[in-house]
A = this chain, B = another copy of it.
Amino acid sequence: MYNLPSGLRDFPPEIKILRNKIFSKIEEIFKRFGFDPIETPTIEYWDTMKGKYGEEAENKLIWRFKLPYSDKEYALRYDQTVPLARFFSNHRPNLPFKRYVIDKSYRYENPQKGRYREFYQADFDIIGSKEPESDAEILNIVNFIFKEFNFSNYKIIINDREFLRFVFEKNLNINEEKIRKVYTIIDKLDKIGIENVKRELNTVVGELSDKIVEIISLRNQEVIDYLSKYEEISKEINYFNNILDLLNDKGRIEINLSLVRGLDYYTGMIYEAVVEKPRIGSLSGGGRYDNLLKLFTNEEIPAVGGSIGVERLIDAGIELGIFKIDKKTYTEICVIYFEDTFKDAWNICNKLREIGLNCYIDLMRRDFNKQIKYAVDKDIRFLLIVGKKELSENSVLLQDRYTKERIRISINNLEDIYRIVKNIINNSY
């Protein structure tokens, strides 16, 4: 028995069909917003990825390796952002460059629910714009996706790295040594609650923890009002207000100074989208990263983007009943034959395929009952029964397994089957 390495998954048809449907819908939305697809290889030189993701990734998480036949050091894609930057520097497309990608990345994490060693992300980035409308567009896409999928209890938490820097580093004057610890603690607010945050902060910054807790308890307009007291940050507040002004669904937005996000490369607006239930962490995250491209191009090129954590989105959606694993096959018709009608059934089956229908015909010479059983197990909705008697009358029987309805169809009018079947199937999905 050969097994899969842990953290890696197979997707049997019913799961793959659901995933295809979800990915198509996400892709549809990216297209709506004027994004186009690119693809980069799974494999990059390790050199390209080195120094981009921080220590933990480099020492524990990146799939990096040499082959027995080469001195080159390779690595599997860790995310889609660094490959995008590399792609951009190699191809230099016109600006703004709006691209989406729905593809796999690889992290050697400890496998657990919602965390896999090979996983899909759906990324959307805008390279070249330093204007708030590009930040707003990213947030509007996220909102559009969650709305389209009928998530009801989601919110999009936003913050700005400039606010964090001003409030904690400049205003509260927390030094470099402590600031990372502070950020790590406040970032956990959603997970561990305000009391625990306060206690942990206290061990790092002492009495300042009261002040910090007060600040990170502010929400929405309170945050803006608080920051507006400081002239030094007015330009950033203004930019942030411009973003807010362009958002489609302001009720879903929560401004919250406790949002930090792990990756070093963010420079401005940052966001995370979360659902109340299930408690699965953020389903999407991203922000502005105006310095990353420079590592690849030696030029200042602003960028902003986001990523849908589709694995978590799918897991959460299934748990919430939004996504249902209810389609086992793309096949629409199971052609049923008898011993003496196989050749006719075969020809009819192939004609229907030419017409545009997804058809199955038994390939194992099984009897009527076993053919039906296969259609039932696979949940193929329509049966097309090719019997001797019907053939002698130049017809076949189309049966809808769901409604039990049977229709006699002339062999000269097989197109009728197309019309009937597609009509019913399109109305039911």
Q: Contact check, A43 vs B364: say whether CB atoms are below 8 A apart.
A: no
**Which parts of A45-76 form the interface with B (CB within 8 Å)?**
45, 47-48, 60, 63-70, 72, 74, 76
Residues A1 and B34 in contact in the complex (CB < 8 Å), given A96-B364, A118-B41, A363-B137: no
- Chain B residues with CB below 8 A from A63, complex form: 43, 67
Q: Contact check, B37 vs A16: say whether CB atoms are below 8 A apart.
A: yes
Category for how many chain A residues contact B: 35 or more
| Extra pairs beyond A13-B93, A34-B360 (4, CB < 8 Å) | A4-B41, A33-B359, A96-B362, A129-B363
Residues A36 and B13 in contact in the complex (CB < 8 Å), given A43-B5, A74-B5: yes
A38 to chain B: closest CB distance in Å?
A: 6
Q: Contact check, B31 vs A330: say whether CB atoms are below 8 A apart.
A: yes
- Chain B residues with CB below 8 A from A360, complex form: 34, 98
Could you list some 6 contacts between A and B, CB below 8 A?
A2-B48, A8-B43, A17-B37, A64-B68, A94-B377, A96-B363
Q: Which of A84-92, A186-194, A284-292 contacts B (4 or more CB under 8 A)?
A: A84-92
- Chain B residues with CB below 8 A from A133, complex form: 346, 361, 363
Number of copies: 2
A-side interface residues toward B, CB under 8 Å?
1-5, 8-13, 16-17, 19-20, 31-34, 36-45, 47-48, 60, 63-70, 72, 74, 76, 86-87, 89-91, 93-96, 98-99, 104, 106, 108, 117-118, 126, 128-129, 131, 133-134, 137, 140, 144, 246, 248, 296, 328-331, 346, 350, 353-354, 356-365, 374, 377-378
Residues A32 and B353 in contact in the complex (CB < 8 Å), given A41-B10, A95-B364: yes
Q: Contact check, B108 vs A69: say whether CB atoms are below 8 A apart.
A: yes
Residues A66 and B65 in contact in the complex (CB < 8 Å), given A128-B364, A144-B353: yes
Q: Across chains A and B, which 8 residue pairs bring their CB atoms closest together, nearest first?
A: A34-B360, A65-B65, A13-B36, A8-B41, A129-B363, A11-B39, A32-B353, A2-B48
- A378 CA to B9 CA, complexed, in Å: 39
Q: Contact check, B65 vs A37: say whether CB atoms are below 8 A apart.
A: no
Residues A131 and B248 in contact in the complex (CB < 8 Å), given A36-B331, A41-B118, A359-B34: no
A422 to chain B: closest CB distance in Å?
A: 13
